[in-house]
Structure 1
Amino acid sequence: MAQCDCGATAGPLGVCADYYNTILAEEQLDPEMYRWHAVVVCVYLLQHPSRGHERHLDGQFRWLQFYLDRGIDAVLRLREHQVARNNHRSRAGYDMAPLEPYAPLPAGGPPARFRTSFCELPHGDGGFVLDGHAAYGERMRTLAEATEEAWKRLGPGS
């Protein structure tokens, strides 16, 4: 049985990349599901850092902590703030101030294994939201918690 970069065993759809790409495709057709886009991206890249850019991992880890601390509505407001800021020429650039209170990405990663991964997400009639958006959101929260937990076990930030 195939194993994913994050240590998970492949699920019925394949390895985590297959799940991730399917989620991204489904999000494009479902605005309610898209609410968790930032969480999905942060979790995937923190569980599979070789698929992203190392320089962004600290910010993604802080975004994840922000989400776990403040919830999806706060993430959506912060995303709107960042988009508005980037659309205004005199304030171009990413505003890290809202994320500064959160712990930096611990050194020594990535973790070898996570309590849960994309490969364990249920998928059926209705895609990833087969049992509703609230249940999908809870699964995203569980993935986020597992990701934060594994990274924090590595120790203090660099």
Structure 2
Amino acid sequence: MTDRPTVARCECGASAGPLGACVDYYHAVLAEEQGDPGMYRWHAVVVCAYFLQHPSAAHPKYLDGQYRQLQLCLDRGLDALLRVGARQVARNRRGTRPVHDLEPLSAYAPLPPGGPPRHFRATFRDLPVRDGSFVSDGHPAYGRRIEMIAEATLESWRSLQT
């Protein structure tokens, strides 16, 4: 009997891709977005989706807010999420103690118990890299792929409720 090599699986259920595990894709996205304002617009969505797909790498107290932020983004759009983030930054710059204002997210469902899900139909490992870039086919295409990851993240977490 011949032993087959075990395919390493990421916490989200994805196997490694050309860049490695999801964490390698995540770090590559973070590095590239630093020099690309069009890509950086998606930073909050990238962070929220990554940590919800890989909660062992996250601080548990932030997961509910991240879950709600993804809902806000998919419900009202990226600009609405960016406005909420800008409002939070402005509040924290006023010399007061930094506090997370969850009021803009109160209309959205809380993080379902019983997670994390073990599979997502779209993960960071699925992001195509061409010519060393995640945006080689343009920012709109990159944004759609990040939205797909966000949708898949919410979908899998919501499936825990059934």
Residue 112 (structure 2) pairs with residue 122 (structure 1): no
Q: Cα deviations across residues 45-65 of structure 1 (Å, max 9, x unaligned)?
A: 000000011111101000010
Structure 1 runs (4+) greater than 3 angstroms displaced: none
SS of match in other structure, 2:34: helix
SS of match in other structure, 1:153: helix
Q: Within 2, Cα distance between the matches of 1:124 and 1:44?
A: 21
RMSD: 1.3
* Structure 1 residues without counterparts, runs of 5 or longer: none
Q: Within 1, Cα distance between the matches of 2:158 and 2:68?
A: 12
Q: Within 1, Cα distance between the matches of 2:134 and 2:81?
A: 21
Which residue of structure 2 aligns with residue 101 of structure 1? 107
Q: Within 2, Cα distance between the matches of 1:98 and 1:35?
A: 19
Which residue of structure 1 aligns with residue 82 of structure 2? 76
Q: Cα deviations across residues 30-86 of structure 1 (Å, max 9, x unaligned)?
A: 011000000000000000000011111101000010111011111111111111010
Normalization by structure 2: what TM-score? Answer: 0.93
Q: Which has the higher Rg, Structure 1 or Structure 2?
A: 2
Which residue of structure 2 aligns with residue 45 of structure 1? 51
Which residue of structure 1 aligns with residue 68 of structure 2? 62
SS of match in other structure, 1:116: coil
Which residue of structure 1 aligns with residue 26 of structure 2? 20
Q: Cα deviations across residues 13-32 of structure 1 (Å, max 9, x unaligned)?
A: 00000000000000101011
Q: Within 1, Cα distance between the matches of 2:148 and 2:99?
A: 31
- How far is the alpha carbon of 1:91 from its aligned partner? 7.4
- Whichever residue aligns with residue 75 of structure 2, its letter is D
- How far is the alpha carbon of 1:126 from its aligned partner? 5.4
Q: Cα deviations across residues 104-132 of structure 1 (Å, max 9, x unaligned)?
A: 00000000100110011100115000100
Contact 1:85 1:91 in 2 (8 A): no
Residue 17 (structure 2) pairs with residue 11 (structure 1): yes
Which residue of structure 1 aligns with residue 151 of structure 2? 145
* Structure 2 residues without counterparts, runs of 5 or longer: 1-6
Q: Alignment identity in percent?
A: 60
